[in-house]
Amino acid sequence: MRRLILKVHLVLALIAGAFMAVLGVTGSVIAFEPELDRLLHPNVSYVTPGAKVLSLVEIGEAASRKYGGEPIVAFLPPSSPQFPAEVIMSRGIVAVNQYTGQVLGLRTRGPTVLGFVRALHTRLVAGDIGRSILRWSAVAMLFSLASGLYLWWPIKRVRIRRPWFHARFCFDLHNSIGILSLLPLLLLAATGTVIGFEDQVARLLDKFAHPSLIHASQSPASSVSRPGSAPITPDQAVGIACAQLPGTVPYRVQMPQYGGFYVVALAYADHRIAGDSNSLSIDPLSGSIISTHQSTDLSMRESFMATNEAIHTGSIFGVPSRIIAALAGVLLPVQFVSGFIMWLRRAMPSRPDWAGGARI
């Protein structure tokens, strides 16, 4: 049985090991994507906090004036005082200092380094074929981790013997890193598998959900103007939304030119699971709330998927869990390389021991 499981472990690693390594490295980058994005674009990512914050109307006017009166699609209010406000236009995202009205720059649409990393992580930059390969690679990782634990169990050793790059070095490195990173990698592989088979999992969960918990979409009411009154401003729309959901912070305000209503998306700062799944549609003429979608109203399927994503991205416990997820992902290439070297030594026993040690 041990020999069979060892062969399964080796075959899975040889077939999907490189893809597992790609998932690990790219996932580690994505775990800190916002921070890396600001690091790559410091000129449009930071401001010095001031005494007075401009209104969204003033911020929008500054951006529109800079770019020839181009209409505004949406506002992205800053999540922190040292970050600028952002204005979405058809040409891209404009960063504006919300204290001075200075336009910091424009982020145009198109390929980016981090966008490429995300595409590599989700579909190998190869469309549906790449997505299928990575989906089954996550499944292979689950079996590889389980078989690795079985093979390690009789040894129960966590140590790395010297000299470096001796034959025993790769063996000890592979075993030690494997067992120390086992739990986070199991969580990443399991949640990644759920994401890869999201449609199938969603259908399965809906079978167990009570019909009343599956929310049907409703058509919004028509806009009704108040006699003798002007349309409300985006700042007023934000005020109405925040009053409806106390304790939330707005992170996106879509203008009524694109959909007929203000759509204000809000987040509970202390809710890491589905805390940003709140939105209100507000009539720009009357200021009345047309529809509300709250994180507390999520169905069982939506709650499960949100929790699964929070675990997979490492955001479930904030920065500490993101660090653990990133470190575990970075160690996957080490596992692949050390295991591949061990396989080469087994596959070529007659070759000289170039690593300076006996074959294990």
Range of lowest pLDDT (86-100, 214-228, 238-252, 293-307): 214-228
Residues in a beta bridge with 253: 75, 264
Q: How do residues 294-327 score in pLDDT, each as one tens digit?
A: 998 888 899 999 999 999 999 999 999 999 999 9
In this structure, the answer to whether residues 201 and 134 fall within a common structural domain is yes
The answer to whether position 279 is within a domain reads: no
Answer yes or no: is pLDDT of 358 > 60.
no
The answer to whether position 358 is within a domain reads: no
In this structure, the answer to whether residues 11 and 132 fall within a common structural domain is yes
In this structure, the answer to whether residues 16 and 158 fall within a common structural domain is yes
In this structure, the answer to whether residues 63 and 23 fall within a common structural domain is no
Q: How do residues 135-184 score in pLDDT, each as one tens digit?
A: 999 999 999 999 999 999 998 889 887 776 666 888 899 999 999 999 99
In this structure, the answer to whether residues 138 and 205 fall within a common structural domain is yes
In this structure, the answer to whether residues 9 and 158 fall within a common structural domain is yes
Query: How confident is the model at residue 335, as a pLDDT?
Result: 93
In this structure, the answer to whether residues 133 and 24 fall within a common structural domain is yes
The answer to whether position 203 is within a domain reads: yes
Report residue 353 as tokens: 């021991």
In this structure, the answer to whether residues 21 and 130 fall within a common structural domain is yes
* Pairwise pLDDT comparison (308 vs 110), residue with the higher score: 308
The answer to whether position 320 is within a domain reads: yes
Answer yes or no: is pLDDT of 212 > 60.
no
In this structure, the answer to whether residues 30 and 123 fall within a common structural domain is yes
In this structure, the answer to whether residues 151 and 199 fall within a common structural domain is yes
In this structure, the answer to whether residues 141 and 201 fall within a common structural domain is yes
Query: How confident is the model at residue 350, as a pLDDT?
Result: 55
The answer to whether position 191 is within a domain reads: yes
The answer to whether position 157 is within a domain reads: yes
CA dist list (Å): 119 to 26, 85, 105, 123, 193: 9, 27, 25, 6, 17
C-alpha 157/C-alpha 143 separation (Å) is 21
Handedness of CA 6, 12, 18, 24 (dihedral sign): negative
What backbone torsions phi and psi does residue 159 show, to the nearest 5 degrees? -160, 155
Please tell me whether the overall predicted TM-score, pTM, comes out greater than 0.75 for this model: yes
Answer yes or no: is pLDDT of 5 > 50.
yes
In this structure, the answer to whether residues 158 and 11 fall within a common structural domain is yes
Q: What is the mean predicted confidence (pLDDT) over 260-282?
A: 93
Number of domains in the chain: 2
Q: What is the mean predicted confidence (pLDDT) over 202-215?
A: 69
Report residue 55 as tokens: 């209104």
Query: How confident is the model at residue 268, as a pLDDT?
Result: 94
- Three-state helix/strand/coil letters over the chain: CHHHHHHHHHHHHHHHHHHHHHHHHHHHHHHCHHHHHHHHCHHHCCCCCCCCCCCHHHHHHHHHHHCCCCCCCEEECCCCCCCCEEEEECCEEEEECCCCCCEEEEEECCCCHHHHHHHHHHHCCCHHHHHHHHHHHHHHHHHHHHHHHHHHCCCCCCCCCCCCCCHHHHHHHHHHHHHHCHHHHHHHHHHHHHHHCHHHHHHHHHHHCCHHHCCCCCCCCCCCCCCCCCCCCHHHHHHHHHHHCCCEEEEEEECCCCCCCEEEEEEECCCCCCCCCEEEEECCCCCCEEEEECHHHCCHHHHHHHHHHHHHHCHHHCHHHHHHHHHHHHHHHHHHHHHHHHHHHHHCCCCCCCCCCCCC
129: containing domain: 2-34+114-209+314-334
The answer to whether position 309 is within a domain reads: no
The answer to whether position 176 is within a domain reads: yes
